[in-house]
Amino acid sequence: MMLTLQLILGIAFLLWIYILWTRRKYYLLSRKLPGPLGYPILGMLLQLMYREDILPTFSKYIEIYGPVFLSWLGPIPFLVVSEPQIAQDILVSSHCVNKGIIYDALDDGTGHGLFSLKNPDWHVHRKLLNPAFSQKILLSFIPIFNENINELMRILDQHIGRGEIELTKIFQVVTLNIAAQTTMGKNISGIQNTEKQSLIKCYQCVLEHMTEMCFSPLLRYKWVQYLLGTYKPYSEAKNEIRKFIKNLIQEKLSTNTPIEEKDKNIFINIAIELLKRGDFTMQNVEDESNVIVFGAFETTANTIAYTLMMLSMFPECQEKVFEEIRSIFPYQGEFDVNYIDIKQMTYMDMVINETMRVMAPVPLVARQTAEDIHLSNGAIVPKGVQVVIDIFHMHRRKDIWGDEAWNFNPENFLPTNLEEKHSYAFMPFTKGLRNCIGWKYGLISVKITLAKLLRNYRFTTNFKYKDLAFVEDITLKFKETPLFQVFRREN
């Protein structure tokens, strides 16, 4: 027994020495960029195994090593960055366009779409699909946003005076319908709510499993999923989503009605035209459709819910938003919000931005270096390094946002308070070469929704801001989700 243990330890030691030797150029980098080595062979794998531990672990090491530090996941070096200038160096570099290897797990769940495609395919697809998110197209969606939020208000009316509810799930039903209409050209409001709820559960199941696979690579193997009992629900959820997307595509393909000029640049029409031209395969159309719908409804619903969460926890801010909205819309009810109205919502803008600052929609984004990259601080990041941009902690740095950086304060976004801040100090949709294609879409949808809801309702919660505990889940989630009460405004 003792001999076997010594043999195992000896092999582990030799393997560790081999890793040190073959990865010596990365250890040279650690002289300029220190950080935790973690355990031999494993590196930081054990500390980052659970989603709820990731953000607190990064917070601890930022305190020790500063906003740029180097660490290891097994034999893989990764750089964690919460410094705006270094983040800009990374995100504008043509040698750091590809997403990090952790996103390989997303390909299994959503397919090879814009979110995780590698260059040069990503560049080609992005260029081909950009017209689907032009200003003209986005403005054409405003009637759809208004119509669906009117339906949302009818749903909320049913919950007035009935105690605490979870709003995110309600919002997801509506934002899924908006996503299907605006990207796939299909109004699914006629589908039973139970069917839509089932579909949303499938999306959440896939999202949860993709996140687990990102941080626990062993879970990507089917035999491990079988052993843990996760293969069947994950596989069934993926199939249900694929069936939904395929049906939307086939319905479009089987329509012989000529496409109106104003609808030619809607996402699904562009994708089908690319299919007919031979620029896309059917798999490309399905994968990109899946990614677009997923992204359009998930992050939008979260941002709406999280903004209302902040306004419920800080009622004085909610009243200021209400007064601003009432000055634009004197009467309650199912009024229409147009683009000129949106531009007048200056305090609303501040509230949404501050919400996305303290609760970054996507707290971490990862890239990998295809060639050596020279950073502004003089360090050279070699080819093959995984880079994590820690947006969550960058948005909460006291040296950038003040001593109260961890607190919610919309005045952080007064123009005078932004004058000397680095342009990459706030990037809820990332920035650089690979920023979010749908960020304008999301903001317009969120503002219209909040304007109509806050003019008609008041939201409260018993949950305290200080008790929020965050979980890295690709998109930001909570250990415990706050519940809300909804009251109708009297005027």
pLDDT band at 128 (very low <50, low <70, confident <90, very high): very high
Q: Does 3.40.1260.10 match the CATH number of domain 2-488? A: no
pLDDT band at 227 (very low <50, low <70, confident <90, very high): confident
CB 380 within 8 A of CB 70: no
pLDDT value for 320 = 98
Mean pLDDT of 286-310: 91
Identify whether 415 is preceded by a cis peptide bond (ω within 30 of 0): no
293/446: higher pLDDT: 446
Mean pLDDT of 27-44: 73
Q: Which of 15-29, 322-336, 474-488 shows the highest mean pLDDT?
A: 322-336
pLDDT value for 19 = 54
Mean pLDDT of 3-11: 64
pLDDT value for 304 = 96
pLDDT value for 457 = 97
pLDDT value for 161 = 83
pLDDT value for 1 = 52
Sign for the CA dihedral angle at 303, 357, 217, 88 comes to positive
Helix boundaries (H) for 42-134: 51-65, 84-91, 104-110, 121-129
Sign for the CA dihedral angle at 302, 419, 395, 70 comes to positive
Q: Is the pLDDT of residue 196 over 90?
A: no
Question: Token pair for residue 489?
Answer: 């405004």
- Per the prediction, the chain carries an average pLDDT of 88
pLDDT value for 412 = 97
Cβ-Cβ contacts under 8 Å for 306 (sequence gap 6 or more) = 355, 359, 476
Mean pLDDT of 323-341: 96
What is the bridge-based pairing of β-strands 386-390 and 364-368?
antiparallel
Residue carrying the six token digits 């950080």: 35
Query: Above pLDDT 90, what percent of the chain?
Result: 58
Q: Is the pLDDT of residue 333 over 90?
A: yes
pLDDT value for 204 = 84
Q: What is the pLDDT of residues 161-182, one digit of tens each?
A: 888 999 988 898 899 899 989 9
Q: Is the pLDDT of residue 79 over 90?
A: yes
Whole-model pTM: value is: 0.91
Q: Is the pLDDT of residue 251 over 70?
A: yes
Mean pLDDT of 204-215: 81
Q: Where are the domains of the chain?
A: 2-488
